[in-house]
Amino acid sequence: MIAHLILVKKEDYLPYIARRWFRIFPIFLLCLILALAIRPLYMEAYTTYSWVHGVDMRLERANLETGSNFWEYFLLHLTMLHGVVPEEVLKYSSSTFLAPGWSLSLEWQFYLIAPFAIMLLRRGVAVGAAVAALSLVAWYVLSHMSAFNWKYPSFLPLSIQYFLIGISSRFLVEKAEREKRFALWVAILLAGALCSDWLAVLIWGITYIVVLSEASLITLPKPIRIPANAIFGSESIGALGQWSYSTYLIHIPLFSIVVGGYSLLTGGDMLQSTAQYLVIFAMVLTVPISWLSYTAIEKPFSKVGSKTAKAISLSRASRSAAPSKE
């Protein structure tokens, strides 16, 4: 998706990164503040009962979050680079306060370098192959040989194979790129897939087949094409996809409010089966809350980002057009 946007919009770096920042930071900041505000409910829901997974880890992380490292964690989150820091330097850096935020940090890291990475990959077959190879070498070294560890693959080199798959997939759909560098994109795609989790590759493969069909590059059999079009062309599925960023960030705080709130109201005497029903209820509740978040926060700030990017572009254009004073 980002490769597509970079190629279509053809923006300078500053308006591009301003647009991306407004797209993801406001909703992240809101969910971060919400997570801090409802912290007692989170602790009640996730650390009170022995049948909750990872209680010891959550308690240890909570002690670090509220201790002398609070401001280090918090300021790192404000940069959205908290996923870069390994466990040996600052433990739980990637998952403090709002655990799903680790993938947002990963996304932001990619946004920062994506225009340069795509430029290098397109510079020529030799340069593109070298960049892809070095990226996968970095992935292997950090994943298998490094003295440093990350709780999640939140540091960009640890997940670079998925981004290489995405970039090469986008170029294989474009006629001009297929004609120029078909072998390069296929090689990068296959290399990335070999370094990736098989389930992720399977999900990508199914989705990509539909994309190729929509681009008229392949023809699916009718028994497959009709249900695929019904699913991927559904307005409801499309809407859920639009709201998915809010859904992802807000679901843990929402679970904490529902489950932790109920536990406090009942004096900490909650059955595991009751918690399961409450989680299901919270999942259903997540849908309208995600719509509200998208409508009231994501969408308006995305518009602000677009206006800001346009203003930066116009300002630069006017400065370039202005006659120089001798």
pLDDT one-digit tens code per residue, 151-203? 999 999 999 999 999 999 999 988 888 888 999 999 999 999 999 999 999 98
Q: Lowest-confidence range among 96-105, 139-148, 224-233, 281-290?
A: 224-233
- Better-predicted residue by pLDDT, 8 or 72: 72
pLDDT over threshold 70, residue 212: yes
Q: What is the pLDDT of residue 88?
A: 95
Other Cβ atoms less than 10 A from the Cβ of 233: the count is: 11
Q: Lowest-confidence range among 99-103, 115-119, 236-240?
A: 236-240
Q: What is the pLDDT of residue 67?
A: 85
Q: What is the pLDDT of residue 238?
A: 81
Task: Tell me how far apart the alpha carbons of residues 299 and 305 are, in angstroms, rounded to a whole number.
Answer: 10
User: Which residue, chain included where needed, has tokens 């559904």?
Assistant: 234
Q: What is the pLDDT of residue 11?
A: 87
Compute the half-sphere exposure of residue 113: CA atoms within 13 Å on the CB side of its CA.
17
Q: How confident is the model at residue 286 (pLDDT cuts 50, 70, 90)?
A: very high
Task: Tell me how far apart the alpha carbons of residues 106 and 199 are, in angstroms, rounded to a whole number.
Answer: 20
Task: Tell me how far apart the alpha carbons of residues 85 and 155 are, in angstroms, rounded to a whole number.
Answer: 8
Q: What is the pLDDT of residue 72?
A: 94
Q: What is the mean pLDDT of residues 127-132?
A: 96
Digit-coded pLDDT (tens) for 3-56: 778 888 888 999 999 999 999 999 999 999 999 999 999 999 999 999 999 999
Rounded to two decimals, what is the model's pTM?
0.91
Q: What is the pLDDT of residue 322?
A: 66
Q: State the distance between the two ends of the chain, measured CA to CA, in whole angstroms.
A: 45
Q: What is the pLDDT of residue 325?
A: 53
What's the Cα-to-Cα distance from 58 to each of 49, 143, 240, rounded to whole Å? 12, 24, 30
Alpha helices in the chain (DSSP H): 2-9, 13-37, 39-47, 55-65, 70-79, 101-121, 125-144, 156-173, 175-194, 198-214, 222-232, 235-255, 261-265, 272-293, 299-321
Q: What is the mean pLDDT of residues 310-321?
A: 83
**Average pLDDT score over the chain:** 91
| Residue of 196, 192, 181, 194 whose CA lies nearest to 128 | 181
pLDDT over threshold 80, residue 323: no
Q: What is the pLDDT of residue 268?
A: 85
| Pair of tokens at residue 39 | 């912290």
What's the Cα-to-Cα distance from 34 to each of 29, 42, 92, 174, 222, rounded to whole Å? 8, 11, 19, 42, 47
Q: Lowest-confidence range among 30-44, 171-185, 234-248, 311-325?
A: 311-325
Task: Tell me how far apart the alpha carbons of residues 256 and 241 are, in angstroms, rounded to a whole number.
Answer: 23
Task: Tell me how far apart the alpha carbons of residues 198 and 256 are, in angstroms, rounded to a whole number.
Answer: 32
Tally of residues, the chain:
326
Task: Tell me how far apart the alpha carbons of residues 138 and 156 are, in angstroms, rounded to a whole number.
Answer: 10
